[in-house]
Amino acid sequence: MAATLGQDDVERVATLARLAITSAEREQFAKQLTDILRYVEQVQQVDTSDVLATSHPLWAESAWREDTPQPSLPTSEALANAPDANQDAGLFRVPKVIG
Amino acid sequence: MTTHPSVRPAIAAALSRIEQAQPALQAFQSVASDLALARAEVLDAAGGTAGSLHGVAIGLKDNIVARGFTSTAGSKILEHYRSPYSATVVDRLEAAGAVIVGTTRCDEFAMGSSTDNCAYGPVHNPWDLTRTPGGSSGGSAAAVAAGLVPVALGSDTGGSIRQPAALCGVVGVKPTYGRVSRYGLIAFASSLDQIGPLARSTREAAQVLEVISGHDPRDSTSAQQPVPAFTASLNGDVRRLRIGVPRHLITSDVDRDVRTAFDTALDVARSLGATVEDVELPHTDMGIAVYYLIATAEASANLARYDGVRYGARAEGVSTLGDMYERSRHDGFGAEVKRRIMLGTYVLSAGYYDAYYKKAQQVRTLIARDYTRAFESVDLIALPTSPCAAFRLGERADDPLQMYLADVFTVGANLAGLPGVSVPCGLTADRLPIGLQFIARPWEEATMLRMADAYEAATPWKTETPPTR
């Protein structure tokens, strides 16, 4: 894998990450991420045929519980940290989604 | 730990120490004097000293939430976030009589090894104010080293408790993955994050670990494991304990002072009756690469929640929803967080997932297997905690990869889910602390704490204090 991140790649990744970036950041990230990728690429030299991927370091049992209602945060508290909310209606407010 | 017949004066004294030290150290992000004093009065009114941490002042890393406290996780995006609930560790500490006095400064979202990545400015090391306290739990380590609080909590994703503990000359414990509930920990990398204590002594750290450990139905990754009385295991008897040393990792890249202190520490362990032998951890040199692939991938998913809707800052003057997401995240996150979100997003994206993320998860399996194999012949693995003592603030801030390499001895325990402890083991020629690390089998914190405590009792390092104290 040729690990060179061009500015187009950076732009594409930023879009996927929902992150606005300036042209200066685009340039800087292209260089820094390329350096980091070239370093981490060493994992590709390891023979991992028949090796399972670890997603949980110690065990893989699911934690089950009965699906019973429990007390939760009151709506007013859940809304208290929102940048914009309608407390009376119990809603978060966001800019228009459809024009 | 001292118990206080009257809690309020003790807490007031801690608050005043913090206030005096704050201009030089910047160890605290916010101090909750009113909440802490009110809590102290409640304890005094109730009378008695029932809880094992009765009246003990505790600093909370700024990424662990407590009801009524501001928790920024070192980020501008959470500048005004006040949690409506408390982390399980906070509930447990308070139930044991402890008093949270404030939040300690850390790298943004715990991403860093120096506190240089804190949006509010770095923490200064009490041993030398021009140097880093380590990170990301640098504020917790500096606060304990400077004697502001006897104990602070940190979080450790790739070394973020143990490395600052080493650089500040205190004890830091990263428990087994699943030992301590993460409910209320602002998530960074969920297959790696673990909360643990920093304290002046192994005994105090063990006492706090005992309180915060145990299954929590609110954290599906917390384990159904019995919690031993960790303090009861600190009996000083380490005879016939077998310590493995992965010599092949301790190369010339490790500072000479650190290597010398480490070898001397092994002699002390031998003199206490432990045996020391070489072990091989053949895949550990891949640790940093695997860690930065997995941690950034998980971080990119965890940090998707900062969208300017439910909490956190929203950019001004945005006209559409998409614009709001992108600009809120641009304005709210610092450079290192953006870099990691970008890297994590890239390695999870179509066409790269197998080559980077999945491959890293497979090599992670091999790293964990190396430890399992080593633990067939030894009880503990010893390593320096950090390849160097405290470096200067800002020194590595412009070189992210160089900063990552500082985690070389600590990421292994996170990748394999193992417990690790860092205990002071010397000072450099410049009087900067050096840390010794013991790593144990899963759930065997008691063994590693017993070794750390015995080592501590046999050496003078605990009595060394920073000049600013």
pLDDT in tens, chain A (99 residues): 557 899 999 999 999 999 999 999 999 999 999 999 999 999 999 999 999 999 888 876 778 889 999 999 999 999 999 999 999 999 999 998 876
Chain A from 60 to 99: CB within 8 A of any B CB: 62-63, 65, 73, 77-78, 80-84, 92, 94-97
- Between A59-63, B3-7, B358-362, the lowest mean confidence (pLDDT) is in B3-7
8 A C-beta contact, residue B395 and residue B385: no
Tell me the mean pLDDT in the region B124-153.
98
Of B71, B83, B86, B136, which is the active-site residue?
B136
> Given this model, what pLDDT does residue B3 score?
47
Question: What does the block give as tokens for B159?
Answer: 């070394």
d(CA B31, CA B136): 19
Those residues whose C-beta lies under 8 Å from the C-beta of residue B39, and which sit 6 or more positions away, are B11, B94, B99, B100
Mean pLDDT of B129-144: 98
The confidence score (pLDDT) of residue A60 equals 64
In this complex, the residue of A16, A62, A83 whose CB is nearest that of residue B314 is A83
Q: Is B33 a catalytic residue?
A: no
- B364: pLDDT strictly greater than 50: yes
Residue B66: CB atoms within 10 Å? 24
pLDDT at position B189 = 97
Give yes or no for A30 touching B (CB within 8 A): no
DSSP H/E element including B100: strand B99-104
Over 90: is that where the pLDDT of B433 sits? yes
What whole-number percentage of chain B has pLDDT above 70?
Answer: 99
Helical spans, DSSP H, in chain A: 7-16, 23-40, 75-79
CB contact under 8 A, B363 and A9: no
Residue B187, Ramachandran bin (φ over 0: left; ψ between -120 and 50: alpha; else beta) = beta
The answer to whether residue B402 scores a pLDDT higher than 90 is: no
- How far from the centroid of its chain's Cα atoms is residue B428's Cα? 22
Of B304, B346, B366, the CB nearest to A46: B366
Choosing from B160, B181, B222, B422, the catalytic residue is B160
C-alpha B214/C-alpha A44 separation (Å) is: 38
Higher pLDDT, B91 or B50: B91
Are B155 and B414 contacting, i.e. CB atoms less than 8 angstroms apart? no
- C-alpha count within 13 angstroms, C-beta hemisphere, residue A62: 2
pLDDT at A55: 85
Structure tokens at B70: 């501001």
Q: Decide if B88 contacts B67 (C-beta within 8 A).
A: no
CA distance A88 to chain B (A): 16
What does the pLDDT average to over B21-48?
95
Query: Is B136 a known active-site residue?
Result: yes
Flag whether pLDDT at B181 surpasses 80.
yes
Using alpha carbons only, what angle is made at residue B128 by residues B127 and B131, rounded to the nearest 5 degrees? 120
Domains of chain B from N-terminus onward: 7-238+414-463 (3.90.1300.10)
How much is the average pLDDT of B369-375?
98
- Pairwise CA distance, residues A78 & A73, whole Å: 6
For residues B267-284, average pLDDT: 97
Confidence of residue B49 (pLDDT cuts 50, 70, 90): confident
Contact A46 B324 (CB under 8 A): no
Q: What is the pLDDT, as a whole number, of residue A3? A: 75
A33 → chain B, closest CA residue = B343
Place of tokens 């770095």: B122
Q: Is the ipTM of this complex over 0.85?
A: yes
Q: Quick one: average pLDDT of B41-47?
A: 91
What is the number of CB-based contacts under 8 A between chain A and chain B? 174
Q: Which ranges of B105-236 would DSSP assign to H, the alpha helix?
A: 138-145, 162-168, 202-212
Q: Is B190 a catalytic residue?
A: no
Alpha-carbon gap, residue A30 to A9, rounded angstroms: 8
Residue B232: which residues within 8 A CB-CB, separation 6 or more? none
Under CATH, what is the fold of the domain A7-45? Histone, subunit A (1.10.20)
Q: CA dihedral in degrees (B353, B354, B357, B362; nearest 10)? A: 160
* Whether B52 contacts B151, CB under 8 Å: no
Nearest to B449 by CA among B279, B197, B276, B280: B197
Q: Supply the pLDDT for residue B366.
A: 97
Asked if B109 contacts B75 with a C-beta cutoff of 8 angstroms, the reply is: yes
Q: B433 pairs with which residues across the strands?
A: B427
Instruction: Give the residues across from B70 on adjacent strands.
Output: B82
CB atoms within 10 A of CB A62: 5
Of the pLDDT bands very low, low, confident and very high (cuts 50, 70, 90), residue B5 is low
Domain ranges of chain A: 7-45
Chain A residues in contact with B398 (beta carbon < 8 A): none
Sign of the C-alpha dihedral computed for residues B364, B365, B369 and B372 taken in this order: positive
Distance of CA B265 to the CA centre of its chain: 22
